[in-house]
Amino acid sequence: MLKYLSQMRPEKQRELVLLLLICLVVVFFAMMIPHYLNARLFNRVSTSVAIMAVLAIGQTLVVLTRNIDLSVGSIVGFTAYFVGQQLSHNNDIDPLVAVLMAIGVGALMGGFNGVLVAYCRVPAIIVTLGTMALFRTLLVEYSDAQTVLTVNLPQWLLDLPRLNVMSHGRLHLRFVVVIMLSVVILFQLFLRFSSFGRKLYAIGSNPEAANNAGFPTQRIVLISFLLCGALAGLTGFLFLARFGNITVVAGIGFELKSVAAVVVGGVNIFGGSGSIFGATLGAVLIDLLENSLIRWLQISEFWRDALLGLLILASVATDSIFMKRIRLYWAKRHAASTNSNS
Amino acid sequence: MSLKLKKLMGWEGFLLVVLLLIISVNSFHSPAFLTVENQVNLFVLSVEKIIIALIMTFIILNAEIDLSVASMMGLAACALGWMVESGTSTSTAIGLCLIIGFLGGAFNAYWITVVKLPSLVVTLAMLIGFRGLARVLIEDRSIRVFPPWFENLGQQPFWGPLPLSVYIFLVLLVISVLILQYTGFGRYVYVIGINQEVAAYSGVRVARVKTILFMMSGLISALAGILFAARLGSVRGDMGLGFELDIITMVLLGGVSIFGGSGSIYGVILSILIVLYLRNGMSLMNVTGHIQTGVIGVILILSAMIPNIKTWLEGIFEKKYAS
Amino acid sequence: MYKKIISLIAVSALFFGATVMAHTIAKKGMKADLVLMPKFLGILVFDQANNGAQEAHRELGNPGKLEFLGPTPENSVAGQIEILTTATTQGQDGIMISNNAGDQIAPAAKAARAKGMTVVTWDSPIPSGDGEQLFIAQVDFNETGMVMADMALSILGPGGGEFAVLSATPDAANQNAWNASMKEHLKDPKYSKIKLVDLVYGDDQSEKSYNQALALVDKYPNLKLIMAPTTVGIAAAAKAMQDEGLCDQVKVSGLGLPAEMVSYTLNGCAPEFALWSFVDLGYLSYYATYMIATGQIEGVAGETFKAGRMGYYTIEKDPTRDKGLRVKMGPFSVYTKDNVEAASK
């Protein structure tokens, strides 16, 4: 098993470990909770993770370049409100235009972060701590304490969350889940096979070296923030579709949730390593834990967060210890083979 | 002398100018600003945050971060209420809560120094975890069982016009300055922050320094939680929720680099004053809520841009001068 | 003015005996700088309360200022304490607080009282009553529990069934009081067929409330009703049931805003819910605070005053708390498919 694992790229190994963890969690809760393993579980987790996974992918792009974006929660809130407001005023806006509007507004906000980080050379954590407050202020001022109301939204948007692409018995593959999956696959391929993707990793693992090698570091960092903002905008749209009534508190706390998904997903917080697929699995694992804990009758309302914190820590630690073992094994084998060669 | 002058010209000097500007605008706009009552209040209202900002300065200088401080505040406060309610004497309970803080910090330190997980990851998990434990103890209740002496400690002046918590802050401030500027430990904090590997090779016991810092962070957060409980006279599960970002903002505005190794405690003191005076001034002018946080956000970004603009301008100047 | 009151007292004493005090009618144009403080900014119901207070402010011709100041949702507790303390420093004459800080605001409120400021709470009181002169109760908190139990009974029908409560945060004093009173009422044999199976928290966040609502359905296969005494919770729960096609199986009820709930009431997901008018609540709070701050009433039990268009109200001991006075506004408006559309406009 270890031998087989060691022949894969480290990211692949990490994803496998995460998949294993997810299976373990499912098996554990299936033993604990009656009627746990059924089609509903898939429907619940897949639809609720769709929102966080898209956001986590954006966060991953930024974290890979050794930066962080704490303003994503405010971007989600603002775009959800802004697009909701436009759609309430004008029900005839084309669905595609609405989505593009959300992505565009998000990209604009992300671009603002990106310019400050890449060209004004302000550390990302400072910029995004600032814009987290700033974008939220914009939202509160813009909203004038009015709520986006479900009743004013066009029918297609209200139908979107229950739109199935495929159904097998009670197992539904929802449209929003398909959106999420397409984003995952698109960005996974993009990072793996484009030169932009390779540069992203290079900058994260060693910014100076990347600079010396003549990479357009600034432009790439800007683009990563821009894409993160765009994905946060898309998340805002999904948020609007799922919850309908939008107030100024929309998306509060999403920044730390997205960071949690990214780090559980094995993306190195200091940049340079990790994958889109991993971050998605991280989001799935956290969502699965949350959704299962609230269904576990033996666990009172008040124990849930304490357990969630410890389980997140445990899963990151398991992952890290596992990876260390694999690396050690690989190093030994490598040493042995070079010895025998010489 | 010249060194001091240089310092005044640098970041701290800039912050000082900003601070004086804010103070003069405030006193011009609001007659209530310069009253003793207001000056005391503006410190008391945030004293728990600024106490934690001191230890956070050490942690960030060390190129680490502790996101669990506010949750530890809540846990210590709730544990205190829970213990006093179930019959422990208040002073014993205070001691036990400080131990809880210490152990919580040690728990963080274990995962960071032994298992070698990034501090952001560990403390993010414990931000959820410690808060969860506070909830387990208190559930949906609000506990107000403290003896009068404990409440007076938090609410009445201790000596002169100031309550005990402000004196605790001042004592911790002096200790922080002494440790950072004049001891070997303080130097290690900087050295590790600049480059952990190099520090390890040159014989600095990195893990020990980090462990001490996180233990102190837990201990001081617990202390802040106890002071918070005394000031408010009762405890609830949501105490201190979200304070961590305010605290980190103060430290970063003080010019401490998030990548560790550079920045000074003097800058943090000035930035604490700037944030407090700015908030107070805006509140007195009836500007509250989001505008306040928005303004502080903009100032945070601008302040970090100023040094870059300065180097940029210098570059232009030098070019002209050369030609 | 005082003469008038004295003569009124004399007259009423003649008629009703000494226990009845004066009916004070507000004298217009007296100066009082007042602050209306919501739990936090940016929420519709609090803005409605502000509209009501502004209406009363204009009506009374108060030459002072009425400020609407609130914290951000992320910093609600510390922010409310800070605003109250600053208002004391500024020398404001009175403040109206929708308290989100529980008893933790009591020390700051006591300090404000010591400086002679009028402190009135509305929407959510200081549970211990310390530092607060008067609480303007939207409805009787015991009645809230009964209305919740009654709506559950009416939706579940004579056959009864299982239901669960989806509350806001574990720290919301008014929510906790309502839930406790509902549990008390459920002991009545009238409600013997309906069974409360769980109480969970959605923290007044859409996403958490939505997931909690679905988890309730998964946890209790026989669940027939989710009762959410919070405007965020009820809307999120109704959306969740609608999205998962569960409206026929599980109904939603509780306290909600007609504008947010209208579509769910019409399609049967939330056949019945209740609320009170926040505009009136702001209006009444303003009248009471203005009259106490300008010394027209003292704010003691037994006093009766006229709150403009809303008529007469009497200050009484709050029966739902150990200590503290209240003015009860009431009544509940219960919304069904017959009246929800008109109310949502």
Query: Into how many domains does chain A fold?
Result: 1
Nearest by CB: A120 against B290, B293, B305: B305
- For residue A197, the domain's CATH number is 1.10.3470
Domain assignment present for A107: yes
Q: Do the Cβ atoms of C103 and C293 come closer than 8 Å?
A: no
**C54 bridge partner residues:** none
Nearest residue of chain C to residue B294 (CA atoms): C72
Domain assignment present for A221: yes
Locate B313 and state its tokens. Answer: 């301008």
pLDDT at A68 over 60: yes
Closest CA to B142 of B77, B92, B68, B231: B77
pLDDT at B232 over 70: yes
> Residues B25-46: what's their mean pLDDT?
92
Q: Do the Cβ atoms of C34 and C95 come closer than 8 Å?
A: yes
C-alpha of C272 from chain center: 19
Look at C83 and B236 and tell me if their CB atoms are within 8 Å.
Answer: no
Q: How far is CA B225 from CA B107, C70, C170, in A?
A: 18, 24, 19
The number of beta carbons lying within 10 Å of the beta carbon of residue B317 is 10
Nearest residue of chain C to residue A252 (CA atoms): C74
Domain assignment present for A155: yes
- State how far the Cα of C236 lies from the Cα of C226, in Å rounded to an integer: 11
Predicted local confidence at residue A316, as pLDDT: 87
Per DSSP, the three-state class of C226 is strand
A61/C331: higher pLDDT: A61
Predicted TM-score (pTM) of the model is 0.91
The amino acid present at A16, given as its one-letter code, is L
Burial of C15 (0-12, 13-18, 19+ CB in 10 A): exposed
Closest CA to C150 of C142, A281, C317, B290: C142
Query: Into how many domains does chain B fold?
Result: 1
Tens of pLDDT, residues A126-164: 999 999 999 999 999 999 888 898 889 999 998 999 899
Closest CA to B43 of B166, B227, B223: B166
Q: Which of the four pLDDT bands, split at 50, 70 and 90, describes residue C18?
A: very low
Look at B290 and A121 and tell me if their CB atoms are within 8 Å.
Answer: no
Domain assignment present for B215: yes
With a CB-CB cutoff of 8 Å, which residues 161-220 of chain B face chain C? none
Predicted local confidence at residue B321, as pLDDT: 73
Best mutation target, A129, A256, A293, A320, to test chain B (most B CBs within 10 A):
A129
Domain assignment present for B320: no
The number of beta carbons lying within 10 Å of the beta carbon of residue A205 is 17
Nearest by CB: A294 against C44, C47, C212: C212
The alpha carbon of residue C227 is apart from the nearest alpha carbon of chain B, in Å, by: 18
Q: Do the Cβ atoms of A252 and A77 come closer than 8 Å?
A: yes
Q: Do the Cβ atoms of B247 and C115 come closer than 8 Å?
A: no
Round the average pLDDT of chain B to a whole number and report it.
91
> Residues B280-295: what's their mean pLDDT?
90
H-type alpha helices, chain C = 2-16, 44-60, 76-90, 106-114, 141-156, 173-186, 206-219, 231-243, 258-266, 278-293, 340-344
Q: Which of the four pLDDT bands, split at 50, 70 and 90, describes residue C14?
A: very low
Q: Do the Cβ atoms of C149 and C191 come closer than 8 Å?
A: yes
Closest CA to A199 of A213, A218, A175, A215: A215
Q: Which of the four pLDDT bands, split at 50, 70 and 90, describes residue C13?
A: very low
pLDDT at C20 over 60: no
Predicted local confidence at residue C19, as pLDDT: 43
- What chain C holds in terms of domains, given with CATH numbers, is 2-139+277-332 (3.40.50.2300), 154-274 (3.40.50.2300)
Look at A145 and C239 and tell me if their CB atoms are within 8 Å.
Answer: no
Best mutation target, C50, C92, C100, C171, to test chain B (most B CBs within 10 A):
C171
Which residues touch C279 (CB under 8 Å, ≥6 apart)?
C48, C49, C51, C52, C55
Predicted local confidence at residue C80, as pLDDT: 95
Q: Which of the four pLDDT bands, split at 50, 70 and 90, describes residue C313?
A: very high
Nearest by CB: A317 against B117, B293, B308: B117
Predicted local confidence at residue A305, as pLDDT: 86
Predicted local confidence at residue B141, as pLDDT: 86
Domain assignment present for A254: yes
Q: Do the Cβ atoms of B71 and B126 come closer than 8 Å?
A: yes
Predicted local confidence at residue A7, as pLDDT: 64
List residues in chain B touching A: CB distance below 8 A: 67, 111, 115-118, 120-122, 124-133, 135-136, 139-140, 245, 248-249, 252, 257-259, 289-291, 293-294, 296-298, 300-301, 304-305, 308
A13/C161: higher pLDDT: C161
Q: Which of A31-35, A296-300, B251-255, C309-313 has the lowest mean pLDDT?
A: A296-300
**C164 bridge partner residues:** C198, C226
- State how far the Cα of C250 lies from the Cα of C303, in Å rounded to an integer: 46
> Residues C215-236: what's their mean pLDDT?
94
Contacts of A among chains (3+ CB pairs under 8 A): B, C
Place of tokens 């509007």: A101
pLDDT at A336 over 80: no
Q: Which of the four pLDDT bands, split at 50, 70 and 90, describes residue B6?
A: low
Predicted local confidence at residue C22, as pLDDT: 62
Instruction: Tell whether A307 lies on the interface with B, counting CB pairs under 8 A.
Output: yes
Predicted local confidence at residue B318, as pLDDT: 78
Which residues touch A5 (CB under 8 Å, ≥6 apart)?
A13, A16, A326
Helix, strand and coil in chain C, % to nearest 5: 45, 20, 35
Instruction: Tell whether B232 lies on the interface with C, counting CB pairs under 8 A.
Output: yes
Chain C residues with CB under 8 Å of B135 CB are 170
Place of tokens 């509940």: C332
Tens of pLDDT, residues A244-293: 889 999 999 899 899 999 999 989 888 888 899 999 999 999 999 999 99
Predicted local confidence at residue B9, as pLDDT: 60
C49/A206: higher pLDDT: C49
Instruction: Tell whether A108 lies on the interface with B, counting CB pairs under 8 A.
Output: no
Domain assignment present for B288: no
pLDDT at C119 over 90: yes
Nearest by CB: C74 against B30, B155, B242: B242
pLDDT at B313 over 90: no
Best mutation target, C46, C86, C126, to test chain B (most B CBs within 10 A):
C86
Predicted local confidence at residue A342, as pLDDT: 47
With a CB-CB cutoff of 8 Å, which residues 58-77 of chain A face chain B? 70
B91/A336: higher pLDDT: B91
C62/B140: higher pLDDT: C62
Nearest by CB: A249 against C73, C219, C344: C73
Q: What percent of chain C has pLDDT over 90?
A: 74
Tens of pLDDT, residues A69-113: 999 999 999 999 999 999 999 999 999 999 999 999 999 999 999
Nearest by CB: B289 against C70, C104, C171: C70
Per DSSP, the three-state class of C130 is coil
Q: Supply the range of the domain harboring residue B113.
A: 49-271
Largest CA distance in chain A: 76
C-alpha of A24 from chain center: 22
Instruction: Tell whether A40 lies on the interface with C, counting CB pairs under 8 A.
Output: yes
Which of B208-222, B280-294, C191-205, C303-317 shows the highest mean pLDDT?
A: B208-222
Q: Which of the four pLDDT bands, split at 50, 70 and 90, describes residue C173?
A: confident
> Residues C128-134: what's their mean pLDDT?
93
Q: Supply the range of the domain harboring residue A74.
A: 2-336
DSSP type of residue B290: H
Q: Which of the four pLDDT bands, split at 50, 70 and 90, describes residue B5?
A: low
Closest CA to B51 of B175, B230, B187: B175
Contact pairs from chain A to chain B, CB under 8 Å: 128
Chain C residues with CB under 8 Å of A294 CB are 200, 211-212, 215
> Residues A38-50: what's their mean pLDDT?
90
C345/C334: higher pLDDT: C334
Nearest by CB: A295 against C72, C199, C215: C215
